[in-house]
Structure 1
Amino acid sequence: MAKTLTALSIAALKPEASRREIPDGKVVGLFLIVQPSGAMSWAVRYRVGGRPRKFTIGPWPAVDLASARGRALEALAQVAAGVDPCEQKRAARAAAVEKQRAELDVVERVVAEFVERYAKPNTRDWRETERKLLKDVVPAWRGRRLSEISKADIHVLLDSMVDRGAPVGANRTFAQIRKMCNWALQRGLIERNPCDGLAPPSAEQTRARVLDDGELAIIWEAAGRIGFPFGAIVRLLILTGQRRDEVAGMRWAELDSERRLWTIPAERSKNRREHAVPLSDAALCIIEALPRFDSGFLFSAGATPPSGFSKAKPRLDKAVADVPGGENIPHWVLHDIRRSAATGMGRLGVDLVVIERCLNHVSGSFGGIVGVYQRQKYEIETRAALDLWAHHVGALVSGKGEARP
């Protein structure tokens, strides 16, 4: 007959070369398992449908003798009632895992994790990614699991955006949803990407809008009317041909006044390549007239560059309409200025290779293997090109040969 275990007898046990199971004489079916390492744990042995089963209670001394007996009696009572405690434990563990998985899979949590763990470290425009997802995706799917989102759900969301007059915005949101779902799939949060097999909701045409000389002159005049900071930003866009966010995010530390050079660091450049932009006298005149902030930014006193272009553009459009002849200008966007500067330099006789260097393009003449081995800076050529362009803009806006702020 098995001896009744006591706290003292358990404490006196010594490990042996092989694993042992010591039965408790008080509760039939309860065993103390002693490993060769000296570790000990409790288990209950019973039968269900004639098949032997073992229910693990927990380690000793975390589970003392009295607690082990109590849990063993509970388990044996379940067996007597026709319930297998092992299966119940397994089901409870599966339910806990599913609950935890469900919490990780909630759409708003996935969005937050995606922005924090992927978009911020890997993309420069993560704020736009966050804005799109928080504006359109989270309100529509709040509280739902991403794994439950179907193709039909995506169609409903994107169709609503198209119906409210934002077809291009729907395309951009779809791209972010697809990217987020791919990220979630790689992390095991979902088993499939609901975007697979879906196409963007709206067809887009490559923009080819080039502002003519008269339109550029009117926009220059209108920019002077809307004031700081967007007016100066627009005029520098015209003079330099650089990208909107690159100009808006300019820092004083990027400027070399003696060399009349603005160096866009690789982390702020779209193609991740440092880019040196020679500054014309007209561009320097605009920059030197700007206020100075402790922030280090040219166009912001805060911790981030100005970002209110969606509100500034309508103000600029109204100012354009107030300039004589401006009311007839067809729709245009700020990026058209960059294309127009490139086209304008081409009309002035600037070589395509030099224009591409001015714009920091890595395709075209500098694509592929050429981009790897072609390291010539073209500073003299690009300075001449941007000076020529500034003189042309000046002639457009004043007829005196050089652009002035």
Structure 2
Amino acid sequence: MTKAKSAFTAKWVDAVQATDKRQEIPDPSLKGFYLIVQPLPGGAKSWAVRYKGHPKFTIGSFGAWKLADARKEAGRVMRAYDEGRDPRAEKQEANSGENLVENVLDDFLKRHVKAKNKARTAYDVENTIKREIKPKWKGKRITAIRRRDVVNLLDDMVDRGVPTMAVRTYALLKKLFNWCVERGILEISPMGGLKAPATVAARDRVLSDTELRWAWQAADDIGWPFGPLFKMLMVTAQRKEEVAGAARPEFVLNVKEPTWLIPPARAKNGREHLVLVMPLVVGLIEALPVIDESDLLFTTNGKTTVGGFSKAKERLDAAMLRIGRKEAEERGDDPDEVTIEPWVLHDFRRTAASGMAALGVQPHVIEAVLNHKSGTIKGVAAVYNRHDYYEEKRAALVLWERRVKAIIAAKPRSNAVAFEGSGRKKGVENKA
């Protein structure tokens, strides 16, 4: 049987070979802490504790538990025995349904997030949990989540082209696991020493006219529910979460100037926001199906807003590329040379803002359209300025809708887009 002459090291443990007999190898540096090696052909390795005549306590597999973490867990088990507690019963409790990741997340939302944050912050956190964390970890025990699980989750987000969301999720997970430690659900957080998955740089990506036209056509290709949702993002210039969570009572459509009132609880800055609804958007909304008499615009079950934005965005990207390459082939160009630089859905909002600026809309009016908390009007003036720029916002969105209609109506071969209301043609660079 293999014996260790000094304290276990990860390299030494990794090199231990399985034989035709089961091996229990004690760690000389921590009495009672063992490496268990199963006989061939399996040869699986795991960690265990044998302490002061108590039954063997299995910590877990070598693959799931790093040596340092297994040592800490062994120490915790020994302390529990010394204090008269039963770590096996505690482990069984930890593996109960209450400690499923989805149940712990629900409790975290109720007792920490919603209790200690503004409604809008809680709404954003809940969306992140629902869309990014639960789908990956549902059904797992919170006690079984390891650093590798966290790294894989965050790396996947970075690879999908959403590093900002990855960084926000990293911060959220740190709070979650620290809360679990505080409440005794976990002894240690798997986030200890883990660095943020990305450095978030300020984005300046704006879609070209051609890309915007491809996106509109691609939205038609992918259809309901995300196709209309993406189109609404393009025209309204509002945030993804605000559009995705829109409900029919927020809209007044059967009037001369239709409006959409986003309530404070759903607005990122916590301020009620009035959006002037253009005819393109009215048409989109009126064409949406009503699911089980639900008030939600974008739902597939009548109870919750749609999820799965990442996959929907991938479908949109693929459809845009197909459209672009088909157009290149039709005009005799090499379709393989058509590429689209990475972009995110929030870039629809930046594209609209840049487009309005190009149309002569003043910066403070664009800020009002976007419902930014502060713009060019700051300080004491901002406190006393209660003018919501209704007429200016309406004029800006009228111009932007005209621009969008002109872009999506342009022929693929044409580099000139009719600029409605200008009385002339405006040359627009038409590159992918």
**TM-score, length-normalised on structure 1?**
0.64
- The answer (yes or no) to whether the contact 2:240–2:346 under 8 Å persists in 1 is yes
- The answer (yes or no) to whether the contact 1:246–1:269 under 8 Å persists in 2 is yes
- The answer (yes or no) to whether the contact 2:123–2:266 under 8 Å persists in 1 is yes
- The answer (yes or no) to whether the contact 1:218–1:320 under 8 Å persists in 2 is yes
Residue 113 of structure 1 corresponds to 107
Q: For the residues of structure 1 that align with 2:212 and 2:278, how far apart are their CA atoms?
A: 18
Cα offset for 1:274?
0.8
Shifted more, 265-274 versus 227-236: the winner is: 227-236
Cα offset for 1:368?
5.8
Map 1:271-286; keep pairs closer than 5 Å. Answer: 271-286=269-284
Unmatched segments (≥5 aa) in structure 2? 1-80, 329-334, 410-416, 421-432
1:61-116: per-residue Cα shift (whole Å, max 9, x none)?
Answer: xxxxxxxxxxxxxxxxxxxxxxxxxxxxxx99963899679947967464442133
1:218 to 204, 210, 214: 214
Identity %: 38
Aligned residues: 305
1:330-357: per-residue Cα shift (whole Å, max 9, x none)?
Answer: 2222111001100111111111100010
- The answer (yes or no) to whether the contact 1:223–1:316 under 8 Å persists in 2 is yes
Q: For the residues of structure 2 that align with 1:386 and 1:170, how far apart are their CA atoms?
A: 32
Letter in 1 for 2:297: L
- The answer (yes or no) to whether the contact 2:128–2:169 under 8 Å persists in 1 is no
Residue 376 of structure 2 corresponds to 365
Map 1:378-393; keep pairs closer than 5 Å. Answer: 378-393=389-404
Residue 223 of structure 2 corresponds to 227
Residue 295 of structure 2 corresponds to 296
Q: For the residues of structure 2 that align with 1:295 and 1:138, how far apart are their CA atoms?
A: 27
2:366 to 346, 355, 360: 355
Unmatched segments (≥5 aa) in structure 1? 1-90
More helix by share: 1
Cα offset for 1:234?
1.5
Cα 1:339/1:141, change in 2 over 3 Å: same
Residue 95 of structure 1 corresponds to 85
Residue 61 of structure 2 corresponds to none
1:95-143: per-residue Cα shift (whole Å, max 9, x none)?
Answer: 3899679947967464442133234564113142255444556777644
- The answer (yes or no) to whether the contact 2:246–2:296 under 8 Å persists in 1 is yes
Q: What root-mean-square deviation, in Å, do the aligned CA atoms of Structure 1 and Structure 2 show?
A: 3.6
Cα offset for 1:230?
1.8
Matched residue SS, 1:262:
strand
Q: For the residues of structure 1 that align with 2:88 and 2:382, how far apart are their CA atoms?
A: 51
Cα offset for 1:381?
0.4
1:260 to 234, 258, 274: 258
Cα 1:163/1:227, change in 2 over 3 Å: closer
- The answer (yes or no) to whether the contact 2:219–2:316 under 8 Å persists in 1 is yes
Matched residue SS, 1:364:
coil
Q: For the residues of structure 2 that align with 1:130 and 1:234, how far apart are their CA atoms?
A: 20
Rg larger for: 1
- The answer (yes or no) to whether the contact 2:131–2:307 under 8 Å persists in 1 is no
- The answer (yes or no) to whether the contact 1:239–1:390 under 8 Å persists in 2 is yes
- The answer (yes or no) to whether the contact 2:363–2:375 under 8 Å persists in 1 is no
Cα offset for 1:264?
0.8
Cα offset for 1:194?
6.7
Q: For the residues of structure 1 that align with 2:131 and 2:207, how far apart are their CA atoms?
A: 30
- The answer (yes or no) to whether the contact 1:241–1:359 under 8 Å persists in 2 is yes
